[in-house]
Amino acid sequence: MPTAKSSAKPAGNLLYAQSGGVTAVINATASAVIETARARGIKVLAARNGILGALHEELIDTSKESAAAIAALGHTPGGAFGSCRVKLKSLDADRARYERLLAVLKAHDVRWFLYNGGNDSADTALKVSRLAAEFGYPLTCIGVPKTVDNDLAVTDCCPGFGSAAKYTAVSVREAALDVAAMAETSTKVFVYEAMGRHAGWLAAAAGLAGDGADAAPHLILFPERPFNEADFFAKVKATVERVGYCVVVASEGIQTADGRFVADAGGGKDSFGHTQLGGVASHLAGRVKDALGYKVHWALPDYLQRSARHVASKTDVEQARAVGKAAVEYALKGMNSVMPVIVRTSDSPYRWKIEAAPLDKVANHEKKMPAGFLRKDGYGIAAAARRYLEPLIRGEAPPPYGRDGLPKYVTLKNVAVKPKLPPFEG
Amino acid sequence: MPTAKSSAKPAGNLLYAQSGGVTAVINATASAVIETARARGIKVLAARNGILGALHEELIDTSKESAAAIAALGHTPGGAFGSCRVKLKSLDADRARYERLLAVLKAHDVRWFLYNGGNDSADTALKVSRLAAEFGYPLTCIGVPKTVDNDLAVTDCCPGFGSAAKYTAVSVREAALDVAAMAETSTKVFVYEAMGRHAGWLAAAAGLAGDGADAAPHLILFPERPFNEADFFAKVKATVERVGYCVVVASEGIQTADGRFVADAGGGKDSFGHTQLGGVASHLAGRVKDALGYKVHWALPDYLQRSARHVASKTDVEQARAVGKAAVEYALKGMNSVMPVIVRTSDSPYRWKIEAAPLDKVANHEKKMPAGFLRKDGYGIAAAARRYLEPLIRGEAPPPYGRDGLPKYVTLKNVAVKPKLPPFEG
């Protein structure tokens, strides 16, 4: 019986898993991974709920999905196989789990492991790769970038960010038109809360909504810059008096100079002692109302901003597909412990390509915004930030809509692979 | 010198004003008003900031805008001339202001007054019309419907609602996919807050996002139905245990059986005594966390939901234009004190037409959702609601986008008309 060596089809299966917060385009990456592997005759297994599914041997056989379903996955937000917020510790501290992972991979003849996530996932992929080498198991591990936070090292940007950035800029531009129309007798200050616990990338993207001193958003609050309430109040007041209203965009992660999160300033309880999950925008709106007496409104789009596939950036969708395709190609070439990253070769015209970066350059690093991206007064974005951000939200890639007026998002069958190992308690 | 009588062009100007909360498509109505009037050779003046501009003689000459700008107005959200939240009282109580209004109309030879708003605006238009008759001034007053609240009497639906409804259904469908992907290790309960202080139309529209017992949204809270916290907790718990997560949509206006707004339950202060502008979603999320221990997230789209022109309903845009066009036609025919309303002639296929309704049938009435629109358990929508709502979000009408990835919204020049009267103190 000839072995895989004599055939064009490489031996073994590919395991794909999603990790961390999902995005509007992580499924576009999944779609490209599956389509690229299928074209090479490789079966793709997917882990249910990310690394948890790999640990618990809850695997999905994607070969049961039709080509049409996998194509539709390319325009469906969320995470089609489930994701998780689980970070494995060091090889020593979490040895039992890493060994179980390897046992599951072996049991299902997985020779290529693609982990689609942020810097934690890159770290996990790296460690799985090291353990496989230690055990002499032939495994190629690839990290695939994804995060709306845009905080991965090496890559110029992260798939998922461009679409969330476009959502942010479009939403702020639209809401600002509403506030402008009503300001004479109603809301004078509007606060929009953007995701970004440590880095202000999404808040910065709101800056694309307008340009010029009087264009909304008038004030952007970045986690990179200490929040000074008195200075902020003065800026809000000056803006309302000059423009007639003030649109504020606040990163959820802004902190005061002594390192306290502004979002926690309310103490987490209401006056009855109940948990009060306020957030930054609600807090700032209340403080502005108390201090300046203006009518305020605020918005907290929360998950809407990272799942808004309906207003995805075409650039982002293309990059999400490109990293998925490259990940499979790198894997099949045996390029172990790398991540396909986006390299920008030109701002204008915007040009980019995919290259392989060593996973250890990506793992556990966090990219903050360069200081030169902030406007001098710290409340807006500089020209360098515009040059960087603008291409990332460029182009529209709307999903198909049904007769019912809603986007046609796919739900996969997610057929389970029969487990081969005893259950894992860990 | 021949007078207007000898010409095809009727004598006088048309005044158009926007009132109350703006929408994604009120400018589409304005665009149709101006284009229809221009085609008949009529000059359209617009009041700056609604009725305030009419009182203070702050009028805008729309003839200074290019045809391209007026066309672009058709896909620009917000209120291009400004709106206001000012309700005139009875003719007796507010006599000075009504007389001033009439003086301004006379001074600028306004023979047709189109007031684009909700039931308050219909009432104002009616009273202006009565005063004009009393003074023997030839004026035709038309109310033009608009409100995301969908609570106007007579008309089958209100321009602005369909687009906000589409935004709601799309956003909830997308966010639900995100929650589903993360639920195993992260957020189990997600609460989306919809506008609707008195009627649950927008919350109901969220029900279009899914169908069937396990499809999101799992629970909708309507202002039409008393909120029972214990029952709600039980429903949330049962849903999480059955489905794995629970997506809740709450109308901002839900009340307990004793008539208290749930949004006010936090007392309005945080534990430091600062104003806490929580809202319903934040309150419910905190209560669910305290009572059931689940990880919760919530979203408050606020103005985003009524300004989201990027995801407007084509049906809604067409109806917004149709009422604008009909309003001018009715005005020029001298059909006084009427409103063009949308009459549904068939659910499937969806068919509608515009008819004139007397303003006094619309003014000061509020349309609530029929009881038959709620699911038997009160936490979702019934088939009748789907039949009513679905055609209203049908079709896409995206705005043009620029090379920069953002919708091309227009800012009008808004050239002021020179005042002819002394300033008004009132």
Q: CB neighbours of A157 closer than 8 A, spacing ≥ 6? A: A150, A319, A342, A344, A392
Say yes or no to pLDDT of B68 above 90.
yes
Residue B221 maps to a domain: yes
Q: If 0-12 CB within 10 Å is exposed, 13-18 middle and 19+ buried, where does residue B68 land?
A: exposed
Confirm or reject contact between B383 and chain A (CB < 8 A): no
Domains: count for chain B? 2
Residue A392 maps to a domain: no
Residue A348 maps to a domain: yes
B173 contact residues in A (CB cutoff 8 A): 406-407, 409
Cβ within 8 Å, pair A182-B270: no
pLDDT for B268 equals 64
A38 & A124 share domain: yes
Q: Which residue of B has its CA nearest to A314?
A: B405
Say yes or no to pLDDT of B415 above 70.
yes
Q: Which residue of A has its CA nearest to B298?
A: A302
Q: What is the largest CA-CA distance in chain A?
A: 83
pLDDT for A85 equals 87
A294 & A351 share domain: no
Interface of B with A in 286-315 (CB under 8 A): 286-287, 289-290, 296-304, 306-311, 313, 315
Say yes or no to pLDDT of A5 above 50.
no
- Cα-to-chain-centroid distance, residue A389: 15
Confirm or reject contact between B182 and chain A (CB < 8 A): yes
Q: How many CB pairs under 8 A join A and B?
A: 283
Residue B376 maps to a domain: no
Percent of chain A residues past pLDDT 70, beyond the cut: 94
Q: Phi-psi category of A356—alpha, beta or left, where left has phi over 0 and alpha has psi -120 to 50?
A: beta
B292 & B165 share domain: yes
Residues of B acting as catalytic residues: 149
Give the minimum alpha-carbon distance from B138 to chain A in angstroms, rounded to a whole number. Answer: 31
Q: CB neighbours of B383 closer than 8 A, spacing ≥ 6? A: none
Q: CB neighbours of B355 closer than 8 A, spacing ≥ 6? A: B340, B341, B343
Q: What is the mean pLDDT of residues B338-361?
A: 97
Residue A36 maps to a domain: yes
> CB neighbours (10 Å) of residue B400?
10
B130 & B260 share domain: no
A406 contact residues in B (CB cutoff 8 A): 169-170, 173, 208-209, 393
Cβ within 8 Å, pair B286-A302: no
**Which helix or strand (DSSP H or E) is residue B79 part of?**
none
Cβ within 8 Å, pair B274-A287: yes
Q: What is the mean pLDDT of residues B403-410?
A: 97
Contact A283, A277 (CB under 8 A): no
A287 contact residues in B (CB cutoff 8 A): 274-275
Q: What is the DSSP string of A323-343?
A: HHHHHHHHHHTT-TTEEEEEE
Residue A186 maps to a domain: yes
B85 contact residues in A (CB cutoff 8 A): 182, 185-186
Give the minimum alpha-carbon distance from B313 to chain A in angstroms, rounded to a whole number. Answer: 8
Interface of A with B in 314-373 (CB under 8 A): 315
The CATH number of residue B356's host domain is: 3.40.50.450
A299 contact residues in B (CB cutoff 8 A): 300-304
Among the listed ranges A58-62, A253-257, B341-345, which one has the minimum average pLDDT value? A253-257
A321 & A221 share domain: no
Please name which of A85, A28, A415 lies closest in space to residue B182, comparing C-alpha atoms: A85
The CATH number of residue B211's host domain is: 3.40.50.460
Confirm or reject contact between B276 and chain A (CB < 8 A): yes
pLDDT digits (tens, 9 = 90+) for B78-137: 999 999 988 888 889 999 999 999 999 999 999 999 999 998 899 999 999 999 999 999
Q: Which residue of A has its CA nearest to B349?
A: A403
Among the listed ranges A147-151, A156-160, A209-213, which one has the minimum average pLDDT value? A209-213
> Looking at B304, B339, B354, which one is the last position of a domain?
B304
A258 & A270 share domain: yes
A76 & A191 share domain: no
Task: Find the CB nearest A266 among B166, B265, B276.
Answer: B276
Confirm or reject contact between A166 and chain B (CB < 8 A): yes
pLDDT digits (tens, 9 = 90+) for A104-134: 999 999 999 999 999 889 999 999 999 999 9
pLDDT for B211 equals 87
Question: Which range marks the domain in which residue A329 is found?
Answer: 8-147+311-365
A168 & A121 share domain: no
pLDDT digits (tens, 9 = 90+) for B159-217: 999 999 999 999 999 999 999 999 999 999 999 999 998 889 999 999 999 988 899 99
A282 & A165 share domain: yes
B283 & B227 share domain: yes
Confirm or reject contact between A386 and chain B (CB < 8 A): no
Residue A387 maps to a domain: no
For chain A, give the mean pLDDT.
94
Give the minimum alpha-carbon distance from A31 to chain B in angstroms, rounded to a whole number. Answer: 16
For chain B, give the mean pLDDT.
94
Residue A1 maps to a domain: no
Give the minimum alpha-carbon distance from A184 to chain B in angstroms, rounded to a whole number. Answer: 7
Give the minimum alpha-carbon distance from A43 to chain B in angstroms, rounded to a whole number. Answer: 23
- In angstroms, the CA A83 to CA A77 distance is 13
Confirm or reject contact between B267 and chain A (CB < 8 A): yes
Please name which of A45, A124, A44 lies closest in space to residue A84, comparing C-alpha atoms: A124
> Looking at A258, A278, A307, which one is the last position of a domain?
A307
Contact B80, B116 (CB under 8 A): no
Catalytic residue, candidates A61, A120, A149, A316: A149
pLDDT digits (tens, 9 = 90+) for B233-270: 999 999 999 999 999 999 999 999 999 999 887 656 66
> Looking at B279, B304, B329, which one is the last position of a domain?
B304
Q: Which amino acid is at A347?
A: D
**Which helix or strand (DSSP H or E) is residue A133 part of?**
helix A119-134
A300 & A206 share domain: yes
Q: What is the mean pLDDT of residues A246-253?
A: 96
Percent of chain B residues past pLDDT 70, beyond the cut: 94
Task: Find the CB nearest A174 among B287, B289, B310.
Answer: B310
Q: Angle B329-B334-B338 (CA atoms, 0-180°, nearest 5)?
A: 75
Cβ within 8 Å, pair A180-B78: yes
B168 & B279 share domain: yes
Interface test with B, best of A173, A182, A191 (most B CBs within 10 A): A182
Is residue A21 marked as binding?
A: yes
